[in-house]
Structure 1
Amino acid sequence: MRKSLISVFALASFGAAALVATPSLAVDGPKVSWNLSVWGPPRAFTAGIEALSSYISKETDGKFTIKIHYGDALSKGPDNLDNIKLGAFEMAQICTGYHPGKHPGINALDLPGLPLADPEVHALVHDVFYKNPYIVNEFKRWNAMVLMSVLQPQSEFMGVGEAPVTMAGYKGMRVRALGGTGAAMKNLGAVPTSVPAPEVYNSLERGVFQAAAFPFTYAFASYKIPEIAKWYTTNLAPGANNCPTVVALDAFGKLPPQYKELFEKGKPIAYAALVKAHGETDKKNLADWEKKGLKAIKYSPAELKIFEEVGAAPVWKTWVTENAAKGVPAQELLDLILNEAKKAKAKLGKS
């Protein structure tokens, strides 16, 4: 799956590079300098915005630059959307789970068990979803336009004790699982708890819970969970945070047309960079875990069906009911995700 996405986007990258190599084809325009706010250091998560920033600078021969500010230098992550509205900077990365009340419609992408484990399908579905009129208007209230997904990897579980080789194995198990993932696991009989990421290692070591869900694989490695874990799941894909890159509408509106076009043209290159970065990280981490002797659990289609029907579907139903009561076209948005996922898989020959 990863290889196909890399190959598709790599071709786009090659084509763009060929254009950049010809000075006469450089996009002309005024001097423009933007700032982009993101939390944490440069990492796989930021590979997309780094590639996009580089592409735009090269295409304009340095006339349009986007400076990335890491580590909350401009704003704390949960405050990025508010500061986009205030005009503090022109671009930012956000995670919609940080402030769900501000944009209930887009929170459909935070639901558990969505069929978005394949990164290529993930990218296609998110791009269509972000352009839905309701979502566009939802973000206009924040002076924002949702540009592209960060392709946050699906979560998996890593834990100690007896490995849950079936969904029944989670019954009674205490797990660190947040939001919709936690709700889905509760439906399976697990006992979810909310613990800040930096505290997971010590809590797991002390037996506060037996397993933790994190984005696969980089987050487990970042918090050193493989040092004490005995097993991990490989294909449960219980959920993923929706973390898009947003652009300030007022700033975007001031750009000349030739600069605006660069954002869409650069997205395939940015997505290719994200997939490549995550792929390299996964390859290294999985090799390390194999050396440590961790057991890899791959669930059968029948077990995954149980997760979808018993764990995830009731969470979808509750979300639709609660948000429809608020005036959100919740069922329409959920159906959009599911239908676009089917279309994407059929288009890519993965149905």
Structure 2
Amino acid sequence: MKVNTLMRVSVLAGALALGLGSAQAAEVDGPKVSWNLSTWGKARAFTVGPEYIAEQLAAKTGGNFTLKIHYGEALSKARENLDGIKLGAFQAAQFCNFYHPGKNPAWMVLTMPFLPLGDLKVSMHVREAMMASEPFMADMANWNAMPYFSALLPQYEFLGKGPAPKTLEGWKGLRVRAGGGVGTAMEQLGATLTTVPATEVYTGMERGTMDAASFPYTYSHAAYQIQEVSDWFTSNMSPGTSECATVLNKDAYAKLPEQYQKLLMDLKPEAYEVQIKAYHDIDKKNLPMFESKLEKIVYTDAQLEEFRQIAGKPVWDMWVAENKDKFDAQGLIDMIMSEAKKASAAK
């Protein structure tokens, strides 16, 4: 099912549920509460989880608890969403850690290259554990925010314009959009970095100010139409991912009645399932389209192993050394590995 179709069906289901809720007793009684969520771009696979939560909040409370999602940076610039949360300008927001490493230093651990987060259900378990960790909570406390829901970004790949980097040496001198540890990994290959917001990548590629862009594969490339200004794509590089999360204003959450707080938390498992399905569905649509329009780069096992050797653990070690006096950086790396192993064993 196409993501847009999925969203229309989901929205319709929510609307029907809301209509029934107004005619019958709400599952969760409570006062009228209206929340706003600030994000960027448009409705897409990335936002399916929060959309589902918003629909279910309205449906289960008979329309008394509403969460309106504001797209296109209507309430705040993407890089300023944490500032808006701190000011109480809105009750919820999405942000990406690599947009502003200084605002969320501990969260940058989830940008480290070659972490074992390829399976989305394992990734969900790890990210939930990390968001509950003391360093992650402390980062958000600086913005009067509490972590709520991860977008579960899939592994990154690159789309690019110009000569295709079919070897690792081919990345030397290329101007690439990559953030955090993934960006550091690409620097190890000789690439030059830029970390522009997603909404500016199309223009940069079109005008030739960047040669390639990394996004979660495949949904985000297609969401921003990057394939329209690209000549090639990497299919198995999988250098890593990052973290984009929904956070809540702590004061707004504290003011909610207990039953609304519980409802918000109870909706998360279902929302994660919807989120994962949306990514799988959009890949089924996008991959054939990429293959029909663009040159597909497939790296050999030997090339990938070389990449891991120079840009895997060495990049982790650099990050730990840079942050060891700020928080337990090595402990966060260890926690990711432990939680991933635990989640994989439980599958």
Shorter-chain TM-score category? 0.7 to 0.9
Q: What is residue 346 of structure 2 aligned with on the other side?
A: 347
TM-score (normalised: structure 2) = 0.84
Q: Aligned pair 1:105/2:109, yes or no?
A: no
The reply on whether 1:315 has 2:315 as its aligned counterpart is yes
State percent identity of aligned pairs. Answer: 44
- Counterpart in the other structure of 2:235: 234
TM-fit CA distance, 1:111: 2.0
Two-structure CA RMSD over aligned residues (Å): 2.8
For the Cα contact (< 8 Å) 1:173–1:209, is it kept in 2?
A: no
Per the alignment, in what secondary structure is the counterpart of residue 126 of structure 1? Answer: helix
Aligned to 1:198: 202
List alignment gaps of at least 5 residues for structure 2. 1-12
Q: Any residues of structure 2 matched to 1:162-173 within 5 Å, and which? A: 163-165=164-166, 168-170=168-170, 172=172
Do the aligned residues in 1 keep the contact of 2:26 with 2:61 (CA within 8 Å)? no
Contact preservation (8 Å) 2:202, 2:229: no
Does 2:342 align with 1:338?
no
User: What stretches of structure 1 move > 6 A for 4+ residues in a row?
Assistant: none
- Residue deviations 1:237-288, cap 9 Å, x none? 2132311000111111111221111122111222222223323322222121
Secondary structure of the 1:89 match is coil
Structure 1 residue runs of 5 or longer lacking an equivalent are 1-12
TM-score, with normalisation over the residues of structure 1? 0.83
Show the counterpart of 2:176: 176
* Counterpart residue number, 1:125: 126
Deviates more, 1:25-34 or 1:257-266: 25-34
The answer (yes or no) to whether the contact 1:41–1:70 under 8 Å persists in 2 is yes
Alignment of 1:1-351 (within 5 A): 26-159=27-160, 163-165=164-166, 168-170=168-170, 172=172, 174-179=174-179, 180-188=181-189, 190-194=190-194, 196=196, 197-202=201-206, 211-227=212-228, 229-292=230-293, 294-325=294-325, 327-348=326-347
Task: Provide the secondary structure at the position in 1 that maps to 2:241.
Answer: coil
CA distance in 1, matches of 2:158, 2:99: 21
**Corresponding residue SS for 1:28:** coil
Q: Which SS does the other structure have where 1:61 is aligned?
A: coil
Letter in 1 for 2:100: H
Which SS does the other structure have where 1:94 is aligned? strand
Show the counterpart of 1:8.
none
CA contact (8 A) 1:178 1:192 kept: no
AA in 2 matched with 1:256: P
Please give the alpha-carbon distance, in whole angstroms, between the structure 2 residues aligned to 1:61 and 1:223.
Answer: 35
Shift of 1:127: 0.4
The change in CA–CA distance for 1:191 and 1:102 in structure 2 (over 3 A counts) is closer
- Give the superposition deviation at 1:313: 2.0
In the TM superposition, residue 52 of structure 1 has moved relative to its aligned partner by: 0.5
* Contact 1:201-1:224 at 8 Å conserved across structures: no
Rounded Cα–Cα distance in structure 2 between residues aligned with 1:187 and 1:316: 13
* Aligned residue pair count: 326
